[in-house]
Structure 1
Amino acid sequence: MAKDKTAEPRVQGVALRSLPKVSLHDHLDGGLRPETILELAEGTDVALPASDAASLQEWFAERADSGSLVEYLKTFEITVGVMQTREALTRVAREFVEDLAADGVVYGEVRWAPEQHLDGGLTLEEAVEAVQDGIEQGEDIVEDSGRSIRVGQILSAMRQGDRVQEVAELAVAFRQDGVVAFDIAGPEDGFPPSQHRAAFDYLAGEFFPVTVHAGEAAGVASIRSALLDGRALRLGHGVAIARDLEVVSREGEEVLVQFGDLARWVRDREIPLELSPSSNLQTGAVAHWGSQIEDHPFDLLYQLGFCVTVNTDNRLMSRTSLTRELAILQAAFGYDLDDIEQFQLNAAAASFLPVEQREELIDLISEGFAR
């Protein structure tokens, strides 16, 4: 797991790591331990840019901090490259769950693209089963340590490829075996959800949940397509929704904002935004507003009543954790424990769990913050 350079951040005297947290947008191939990459690369033709864990972690962070989603995605050639066997997928998934639990996460959803892990001879079904095995092993290890965590899979299809329908059917086939939702990922600009309308129609007909990467690199139009063509229940990142807002005036802390129709719909319907502050800076998703965390529209969206959630996106590439993301936001915007609890309650309510389990998760978070 990436080292958290923020030494045990606290808010109002409480260690953020100790608080129950919910992670909704976290990529399996973006959360490997550098040590694991080194070991899995042995005996493969994957060429690594460094021979020790610290240097490898530094390489990922530097390459990911490019200001471009396309360049950012190139770092995954290495992580995906070492995840081509059943054993590798199971190990990575197991460690993924362990690392989430160590960070105080009590519920997580891990997304990944099975179609990218077939070079070693696995079928799509075998790849999903391998990851599920790892998740369940990780959950058992966490339980044996006296804690608890639950993790569901979100299957992503690569939006620039030709297997979107196939992965959609795969997700539905595994809905009783660990898969909780469907997603499309990859280069956003030029590959709108509308290109895969048939797959989304199929998912809607099966009443299967969908989240879509949108509003990260392709602007407001991608969000519109995610909602209309993809019937997305959540927006992966969705940062660009702030471009459908016009700040009319500012007087001290009072901000008068005019909503566009799309922004008002997303806010009024409480469509969750899977915001990932550090990643959004690295990929240039917030370049319209600036280059510092204080420029991120997160706080504006929160103050206006949008359903904001806090996520890591890729812990390895951003050298981060959910605790660190919360600490960064707290330092930038002065949030207190009530704010941080609200972000977790938003995420719990937005999770792809049955309503009874969502209510249990909400109670668990409220009890944890009350203590």
Structure 2
Amino acid sequence: MTAGISEVVFGTLADGRVIKQYRLRNKAGAEATFTNLGAAWIGFTWADDEPSLVLGCDTLAALIAQRAYLGCTLGRFANRIGQGRFALSGGTVQLDINLPPHHIHGGEQGFSEQLWDSQISLTDATLPTLTFSHHSAHGSAGYPGNVDVQVRITLTEDNRVCFQYSAQTDRPTILNLSNHAYFNLNGRLAGSLAAHEFQIHAPQFLESDAQALPTGEIVDVADTVLDLQQWRAIQADLTPLLDARLRRAGGYDHCFCFADDQQLKPLAAARSSQTGRTLTCSSTLPGLQFYSGNFLGGTAFDQDRHYQPHGAFCFEPGYWPDAPNHAHFPDCSFDQHQDYYAIIEYAFT
């Protein structure tokens, strides 16, 4: 089989703008599917007759209506900022409030809601490559600075989906880019995380309050339900939610802490005893938000079918939530003298 990339029209918005789907295929027949709406990852299959391991939508109406950030590129700041407010360059920045009283994932018109420009290519005739780009104007959602963002996506022959994020700005600002893909290694319609085990290579996590904001305390995972340093199933933790931390969040929705060394390293993995599939997530970023699909229930993927709560999981590398308001968290600010750059990889075996 030949590696390649295809482009098809998924539908048209009311204002005439075209929503497209892009399918990257490697020589082994694995295929990763994306859309320019939200620069979103909406499918991954090993072969044509196998179910997707990444959740997406079957209709344009469902894709537009969903509010679960299915596969979307998150920005300008992935995750939460308390009160939508932070200090920068001697002043105070006030962002849009879209999770009252806080700001999440870049606001109501964050990167997940934008129609991205796109360019497709084959690198060295073997690597199907898709590049999304977007210009975010000064003042968008309250963020300072004009920011130009590029997301370069490749599908390798060994079934790695690689995201390279780069950005430039014209004044001091903050940036935290990530991807919100939902995975189920038993297939996107499996409906639960049964037969899944997880491993997260972090000895510490961020303590959070009842509104899922960091308290600022960095806690050892040892002797907590968040100790996933060894392979462990989590389905029993989710039904019922007996642990206080999980009960507050509706399940797993916690940031795990890694070294801020800009080195590409494995952060986490998941495996299914039902299918034998494994997913490994690596990144240069210092945090990993592990999310067990707590509020996925009711998200329609076509006219009358819905995903189930805890029916998928997310590995979201990034800077730590509310980082601009905690001086001891890794620094997510950058300016006109430096470019933003980060890598996230998802490897399927």
Q: State the TM bucket, normalised to the shorter chain.
A: under 0.3
Identify the structure with the greater helix proportion: 1
- Could you tell me the TM-score, scaled by structure 2's length? 0.27
Higher RCO (CA < 8 A, seq sep 6+) = 1
Identify the structure with the greater strand proportion: 2
